[in-house]
Amino acid sequence: MIRTALSFAALACAATTAQAVPVTYSLNFDFPGVQYYCVGCGGSTTPWAPPGGTVSGSITLDANNTGASQVVDFNFTSSIPEMIDAYFWMPGETPTYSYGDPYVTVGLSGNTFSFSNYYGYAASGNGTGWRSFFYMTVADLGDIGGRTLDASFQELYQYSSIASTGGFYGTVYRHDNHGINVGPGNGSAYATTLTANVPLPAGGLLLLGGLVGLGLARRRKTS
């Protein structure tokens, strides 16, 4: 009986460690600072200034997939501090990034996942309005699926307009004013450790069952 229980527990443990499952990480933090850029004032960038914007929500990653498909679900909202100077045209923005949104696309370049959101446009890629780019750079893609995940973040809010100039160039997209949520310095990313809300997998339940069986077997033997 004891040998059977041990074998059962070992089998459950092997099943738990061998099978990777999608893991959901919480995205709840404040960016340390923010910067603004203005074409209309000579292409200047303001110095780094606190506070930055906020991010809240979650992202689910699956190490069994490849490329951008490692992102299997996400739902988070971000914001950027309002710029008082009128020429920046920067209202307080709070876009939501969610899986299945037709205006949100996900990409992967190297270790950096990018979430692009045409949340201020009448149609994706066509019109005048705000667009946001949320960047998550994972320190090691091999760590996806672990209890914690080291990553760094930046976020760009960009105002785009269509200028119909005619002539040789035709219609020109202008990316004029923007704001960037940054880390602890000019143009830097914000590094943090994400924590996963990992549910007890089925293998873990089997392991517990095996250990309970082992305890019962010992109790019967002693009695």
What would the pLDDT profile of 144-199 be if each residue is shown by its tens digit?
999 999 999 999 988 766 554 454 444 555 556 788 999 999 999 999 999 998 66
For the chain, where are the E strands, in sequence order? Answer: 23-30, 33-38, 44-45, 54-61, 71-78, 96-98, 104-109, 112-117, 129-138, 148-164, 171-182, 190-195
Q: Are residues 11 and 67 in the same domain?
A: no
Is residue 55 located within the same domain as residue 118? yes
Task: Mark whether 174 and 111 lie in a shared domain.
Answer: yes
Alpha helices (H) in 72-201, listed in sequence order: none
- State both tokens at 99: 């899986």
The model's pTM is: 0.76
Domain carrying residue 10 = 1-19+202-223
- DSSP code of 214? H
Provide the token pair at 61.
């990653």
pLDDT digits (tens, 9 = 90+) for 50-100: 999 999 999 999 999 999 999 999 999 999 887 655 445 555 668 899 999
* Stretch (H or E) spanning 216: helix 202-222
9 and 96 inside one domain = no
Asked if 105 and 83 sit in the same domain, the reply is: yes
User: In the predicted model, is pLDDT for residue 39 greater than 90?
Assistant: no
Q: Which residue has the higher pLDDT, 39 or 72?
A: 72
What is the total count of domains within the chain?
2
Are 3 and 13 in a shared domain?
Answer: yes
* pLDDT tens digits along 1-25: 545 444 544 444 444 444 569 999 9
Same structural domain for residues 182 and 146? yes
Same domain, 194 and 216: no
User: Tokens 């988070």 label which residue?
Assistant: 76
Pair (27, 75) in one structural domain: yes
Q: What span, in angstroms and rounded, lies between the C-alpha atoms of 208 and 23? A: 21
CA dihedral 76, 200, 137, 140 (to 10 degrees): 180
If asked whether residues 222 and 152 sit together in one domain, one would say no
CB 144 within 8 A of CB 90: no
Higher per-residue confidence, 157 vs 128: 157
Q: Are residues 106 and 162 in the same domain?
A: yes
Q: Which amino acid is at 49?
A: A
| pLDDT on residue 124 | 45
